[in-house]
Amino acid sequence: MQLLRKILFPVSLIYGLVVYLRNYFYDKGILSSKTFETPTICIGNLSAGGTGKTPMVELLIGILKDNYKVAVLSRGYKRKSEGFVLADNSATVETLGDEPFQIFSKFSDITLAVDADRRNGITTLEKEIQPEVILLDDAYQHRKVTCGFSVLLTSFGNLYVDDWYLPTGNLRDSKKESSRAQIIVVTKCPENLSEEVRKTILNKLKPESHQQVLFSYLSYDDTLRTVDSSIAFDDLRTKEVTLVTGIANPQPLVDYLMSKGLRFQHLKFKDHHDFSNSEIAILRKKQCILTTEKDFVRLKEKLNHLYFIPVQHRFFGDGKSILKEGLEEFMK
């Protein structure tokens, strides 16, 4: 795979040129970007996948929902519906996509919609719902909309400053576009991250005067959950555990489980994997399946003995307070 990526280096140069021209046209006003009346907050990244966007969206919902009427707008990647879809009691993974359905399942007191056309999605939400703030999930590179506040995520193990354009690397946008963010979060850091390493990363990122750089790690729950029950993590030690992942980067979860001394078989699938009937038949023979929350919403109607491990971002130092203050200042 790495050899193929290197062979495709000329393609990445063409990709980078297209990205440069696109951003240039937006910067010069040749392509138009629309600003909406409703405050919009963008959560996204410059590299493809694996930075923890969904837990970050959930964190921002938790910060905002008690004081504002919140709506979340997502593309709804790999959903089987088209156009604008407003989540309701009939919503499924097929109509919303796995990550939006996960969010909708956890937060019944907010509005969630999906639309690949972000302009149309925001316009429809303003007309039908009148939210006080809209969170745009995975929309950093969608410059047809000018967001008022942007949270840019970059993974500790693959900083955007060390990356290169697709398909040789994982960059889907120019590194210099990081300047549009108010908050940069370095995610998936080791829990023992030293101050010296943080300073090294700051020197690499070179944040501008209007930007705050925060550091977070993924915190996994010791209680595993299913549809209507839960078990303690230690209860897994008496079972034959199969870890099933269909996410971009399962390594932090694998590392966590290994650090807990859990023995398991790992079945790794690509991000947003659509499990076939034959794969489901194989999984049904497993004694105990542990999976991610995103995979759980796609598998829970098809498998028994299925548990997911909740995860959330935890910040180093006063990172969460800085994020809250930034959001509060923006919403004034």
- Residues annotated within the binding site are 47-54
CB 125 within 8 A of CB 115: no
Which residue ranges make up the annotated binding site for ATP?
47-54
CB 106 within 8 A of CB 58: yes
Helix-helix angle 53-64:98-106, to 10 degrees: 30
| CB proximity list for 203: less than 8 A, separation 6 or greater | none
The tokens of 45 are what?
């990244």
- Specify the DSSP element, H or E, that contains 150: strand 149-155
Round to whole Å and give the CA distance between 148 and 117.
18
Give the number of other Cβ atoms within 10 Å of residue 6's Cβ: 10
**Local structure of 252: helix, strand or coil:** helix
- CA 212: distance to chain centroid? 20
